[in-house]
Amino acid sequence: MNYRFEISLPDSSEFHCEIAVNGEQTFQHLHDKIAEVLEFDHSQIASFYTLDRMGNRVKEIALLEMSSDDEETDTWVMDTTMIKEVINANCIELEYVFDFFNNRYLKVEYAGEYIADSADVLPVCLMCAGPLPEQNPLEGDDKWEFGEDEEYDDSFMEEFSDDLDEDEEGYGDEDYGDDDAGDGGGRYGSRYESIDDYLDRL
């Protein structure tokens, strides 16, 4: 049997996609087709989740095996889990999480049997409409860039440098010992005896 899935965003009606897959194929095939259609990086971590009747996530179908052999888990693996093993009368809706950091996902809903054409090579994209969701909307260095109007506040450094007057006696001397601190020959000028004194008066 061939399965037809409707794929959409939970918070938008603009994007809509339909993909058909054979029941003997695995969730790895479905994942790869979704990534191909949406122009995602296939190697990025992703998971399908089955849902209960209240819409809560129940079982994870992960891209990679994350548990040890002796650890009990409710997680299956995509490349060993066939579509027909999961989709049934009690499970017709899935969530496909493609951005775990921001919990961004697609709704994957069973929409009935698909009668394949002789030319079809499953899985196949039947239609795709609307703007494609971005896999990583804040990628690279973009998230760290300052706006054009933001400037580095160097007022503290300007105030501090005002105290280092080149005309003052002792400026630029190599010896910054205590003997010069009280007579205007210290590093911080005649107004302050030490950096602690300067900070205390700020």
pLDDT tens for 48-102 read 999 998 999 999 999 988 765 555 667 999 999 999 999 999 999 999 999 999 9
Q: Does 148 fall in a domain? A: no
CA distances from 181 to 171, 186, 189 (A): 12, 4, 8
- Better-scored residue on pLDDT, 153 or 94: 94
How many independent structural domains does the chain possess? 2
The residues near 163 (Cβ < 8 Å, ≥ 6 apart) are 188, 189, 191, 192, 198
Strands 124-129 and 47-51: unpaired
175: enclosing H helix or E strand: none
* pLDDT, averaged across the chain: 80
Asked if residue 195 and residue 133 are part of one domain, the reply reads: no
Choose the final residue of a domain: 141, 175, 190: 141
Please tell me whether residues 137 and 160 are part of one structural domain.
Answer: no
Instruction: Please answer whether residues 61 and 77 qualify as being in contact, where contact means their C-beta atoms are separated by less than 8 angstroms.
Output: yes
Residue 119 lies in a domain: yes
Residues in the chain: 202
149, part of any domain: no
Give the CA dihedral 17, 18, 24, 29, nearest 10 degrees: -30
> Residue 80 carries which DSSP code?
G
Please tell me what DSSP assigns to residue 82.
B
Q: In what order do the strands lie in the sheet with 104-113?
A: 75-77, 57-62, 47-51, 93-99, 104-113, 2-9, 12-22, 124-129
Q: Do 121 and 176 have their domain in common?
A: no
> How confident is the model over 182-195, as pLDDT tens digits?
454 444 455 556 66
87, part of any domain: yes
Range of 62's domain?
2-141
Q: Tell me whether residue 106 is exposed, middle or buried, using C-beta atoms within 10 angstroms of its C-beta: 0 to 12, 13 to 18, 19 or more.
A: buried
Q: Report pTM.
A: 0.66
Q: Is residue 69 part of a domain?
A: yes
pLDDT surpassing 60 at residue 117: yes
Same domain, 17 and 39: yes
Rounded distance between C-alpha atoms, residue 122 and residue 6, angstroms:
15
